[in-house]
A and B are shown apart, each in its own frame.
Chain A
Amino acid sequence: MSLFKELTVKPWERKGIIGGLEAEGTFDTSPEKVALVFFVVVASVIFSLFAVSYIIRMELPDWAPLAEPTQLWFNTALLVLSSVFFQWARNITKTDSNKNVMTAFVGAGLFAIMFIAGQYLTWENLQAEGFYMTSNPANAFYYLLTGVHAVHLLGGLWVWSIGLIRMISGVEAKELKLSIELCAFYWHFLLIIWLIMFALMANT
């Protein structure tokens, strides 16, 4: 039933059971996925507000644009690979075979860890070159946005590591189907967020 139609029902008129023999959720999917979609919306609001603050703060006279390190392109490639590997793992769980699922799942996580390490390296390099957080708001935003993004990725890696432990301890990949699907979804989301943040910082 469409949302509009559902909201215009007159509940006092119709008695009896509405729906089938079983209880039905509003969305035809698992509660974990519903919760994750809501969380993704919350995270989007957080990043949008940071982006809005960035744009407003940018207008003020003391802003000196930061030349983003070239290394970011390399890091971006790592994050793309991580996302691709998760999608690969997800596609495997949709088939009957389990082949390569471990490789894809482990690879996805490792690329994400390498991405975070790469981001940390850019911090070190910027510090070494004298681009401190306090010296300019553009620098401060660089550390802040990359940091908040990395924290979100670390949260994802925590879920990934639980999946990894279960996989190593011999749990069938089929039973991890939901975890893998949700990880892939979350990673694609964080990739999109990163691309937007990168574009925002690189163009200003």
Chain B
Amino acid sequence: MAYVPLADQDSEQELHHPKSWVTEWVFSQDHKVIAIQYGGIAIAVGVVALVLSLLMRMQLGFPDSFDLIDPSQYYQSVTMHGMIMVVYMLTALLLGGFGNYMIPLMVGARDMVFPFLNMLSVWTYFLSVLILLASFFVTGGPTGAGWTIYPPQASMAGTPGHDMGIVLMLASLGVFIVAFTMGGLNYVTTILQYRCRGLTMMRLPLTVWGLFIATILGLFAFPALLVSAVMMLFDTLLGTSFFMPAVIEAGTPLDYNGGSPILFQHLFWFFGHPEVYIVALPAFGLVSDVLSTHARKNIFGYRMMVWALIAIGGLSFIVWAHHMYVSGMHPYFGFFFATTTLIIAVPTALKVYNWVLTLWEGDIRLNAPMYFAIGFIFTFIHGGLTGLFLGNVVIDLPLSDTYFVVAHFHMVMGVSPVLVLFAALYHWYPKVTGRMFNEPMAKAHFWITFLGTYAIYLPMHYLGFLGVPRRYYALGETDFIPESAQDLNAAITIAALVVGAAQILFFINIFWSLRYGKKAGPNPWGSASLEWQTPDTPPVHGNWGDELPTVYRWAYDYSVPGAHQDFIPQNVPESEEPTADEQHFDPNHDQSKANL
């Protein structure tokens, strides 16, 4: 007999009903509250990182006019900006935030499999953020070793935060990984075991597939960071020499001997490269669903999209050393890693083609989430193409330490996932809050962010070609960098300040609409996937009322010929195709028609 999930047994899944305000909103075990907590913390710490980047830009654009940060603080800003954005913001918001909110709703479950573990996960994550932020207040400040925290430099005098800063960073990462593992075990188990009746794996929305593969990547990749963090903590605190070579600090030989810094780099990037896809794959999933819904068309090549996610996930573990070409390696290794890096472009390009073909001849509704989703296709193509340059050893070597790389990774894994996040935040905002956001304000937010992004990062490619080195506090005078490069830097800074300020529009919008937004109705976009079919909006504790849903079709039945309306929800049997009334589909909430 097949195993019957707890959720469907007579006794019902045991839900922990909140008894007080504290258990409802603070120590809640409801996946939706946990998702909002994860998202809130991630966005808050992301704002800190955004402010750090603006401080750096002020220094770079107008080195003589402002005296906001000194060189040490510049390096600390670089480090904290990078680490916060990659790990504590993007990973936490995509997997902790969207993963928690979407998975149980999209698979038709009442909650995650282990709600208590889920609650522990978010509070452990909060602890890791506190440890990280605490490093701003200790002697020496946070580490300034760069987000890659390479030894030996990270723990030697001369590097800001070489004493307490680096220790707190490593400890915080360790705690974060524990939090991620607790959440990750929940996500994969829920997706595998708690899908409702009729919901096969190949009927899952791509959002769930993206989260699923990304979580598996995380479970395999974060251990590498944990292992390197533990050994580096031993080196720093206990004086072992796992990574620390015999080294002289300010004329004095240190007690270290014979360690291998390159070993650290291998471990770090064995985590570091899959990390790119831990961020990218959920974004791929979310954007697929947003594009399909607003194009009123099924996603093009669903199976290919799933296979590509799996292929990218697998390949992402054998490309890590392309981050280490400048560290030096056997030419055959370089050849191998360049080849795998270029191969990974194949499934990735396949996804891009499928997104574009989803739009092809679609009944496109240009709602704000769709703006961001289409904007993502642009930035992702640009960032992806420069990745092909850098994947080649001979091109990477001269460009590696220049602004070309900064431009590349910001386009591909900074701006692109962030645009998807905005698309997804706007798209699911009506479900989460029950209210519509302000559409014109969201579109203004889009245009400033999108055009501003290009104003910031396109010139950086050019600076990179000129040979402007990255990580420098100030350029000083050189023979090869023309003075006009400084004008470009000033222009980039102005664009960055405008984009940074424009994010206030987003915050005003979501907080204002929380109270004054139009009531959204259960399914304002006319979406077919399961999370829009909950009996209550926003979904209440337990999600599905008395009975769990049954799924009869995949999540992309849009514009089906002969159907009464242009979408058929997953939980509608073929025999009773819906009429407009039954679906509560209110055309007044169709934003595109309202605003066109």
User: Do A22 and B4 touch across chains, with their CB atoms under 8 A apart?
Assistant: yes
Task: Please count how many residues in chain A sit with their CB below 8 Å of the partner chain's CB atoms.
Answer: 47
In the bound complex, what is the Cα–Cα distance between A20 and B298 (angstroms)? 27
In the bound complex, what is the Cα–Cα distance between A30 and B2 (angstroms)? 11
- Of B3, B202, B550, the residue contacting A29 (CB under 8 A) is B3
* Complex contacts, B493 vs chain A, CB 8 Å: none
Contact A17 to B192, CB < 8 A, known contacts A6-B200, A53-B267, A137-B240: no
Chain A binding surface, main DSSP class: loop
* Complex contacts, B7 vs chain A, CB 8 Å: 23
Minimum CB distance partner of A53 in chain B: B263
For residues 276 through 335 of chain B, which have their beta carbon under 8 Å from a beta carbon of chain A?
A: 298, 302-303, 306-307, 310
The smallest C-beta distance from B558 to any residue of chain A, in angstroms, reads 11
Which of A39-47, A88-96, A100-108, A193-201 lies at the interface? A39-47
User: Do B260 and A60 touch across chains, with their CB atoms under 8 A apart?
Assistant: yes
- Of B3, B5, B8, B238, the residue contacting A134 (CB under 8 A) is B238
User: Do B552 and A134 touch across chains, with their CB atoms under 8 A apart?
Assistant: no
Interface residues on B, range: 35 or more
In the bound complex, what is the Cα–Cα distance between A21 and B1 (angstroms)? 12
- Of A6, A17, A144, the residue contacting B552 (CB under 8 A) is A17
Contact with B along A1-40 (1 / 0, CB 8 A): 0000011111110011111111111111111001100110
- The A-B contact count (CB < 8 A) is 170
* Complex contacts, B258 vs chain A, CB 8 Å: 60-63, 137
* Complex contacts, A24 vs chain B, CB 8 Å: 2-5
User: Do A35 and B219 touch across chains, with their CB atoms under 8 A apart?
Assistant: no
The smallest C-beta distance from A194 to any residue of chain B, in angstroms, reads 18
Minimum CB distance partner of B551 in chain A: A17
- Of B2, B234, B263, B556, the residue contacting A28 (CB under 8 A) is B2
User: Do B201 and A6 touch across chains, with their CB atoms under 8 A apart?
Assistant: yes
* Complex contacts, A57 vs chain B, CB 8 Å: 242, 259-260, 263
Interface flag for B589 (CB, 8 Å)? no
User: Do B306 and A56 touch across chains, with their CB atoms under 8 A apart?
Assistant: no
User: Do B220 and A42 touch across chains, with their CB atoms under 8 A apart?
Assistant: yes
Minimum CB distance partner of A29 in chain B: B3
The smallest C-beta distance from B303 to any residue of chain A, in angstroms, reads 7
- Of B113, B190, B196, B259, the residue contacting A23 (CB under 8 A) is B196
* Complex contacts, A30 vs chain B, CB 8 Å: 3
- Of A17, A38, A137, the residue contacting B197 (CB under 8 A) is A17
* Complex contacts, A192 vs chain B, CB 8 Å: none
- Of A16, A20, A35, the residue contacting B574 (CB under 8 A) is A16
Contact with B along A67-111 (1 / 0, CB 8 A): 000000000000000000000000000000000000000000000
Minimum CB distance partner of B226 in chain A: A46
User: Do A31 and B2 touch across chains, with their CB atoms under 8 A apart?
Assistant: no
User: Do B198 and A137 touch across chains, with their CB atoms under 8 A apart?
Assistant: no
Contact A31 to B241, CB < 8 A, known contacts A10-B303, A18-B200, A38-B219: no
* Complex contacts, B223 vs chain A, CB 8 Å: 42, 45-46, 49
User: Do A38 and B239 touch across chains, with their CB atoms under 8 A apart?
Assistant: no
The smallest C-beta distance from B555 to any residue of chain A, in angstroms, reads 9
Interface flag for B185 (CB, 8 Å)? yes
In the bound complex, what is the Cα–Cα distance between A153 and B223 (angstroms)? 18
For this complex, 10 residue pairs linking A to B, each with C-beta atoms less than 8 Å apart, are: A9-B202, A12-B557, A17-B552, A23-B198, A31-B114, A42-B220, A46-B227, A57-B259, A62-B241, A133-B240
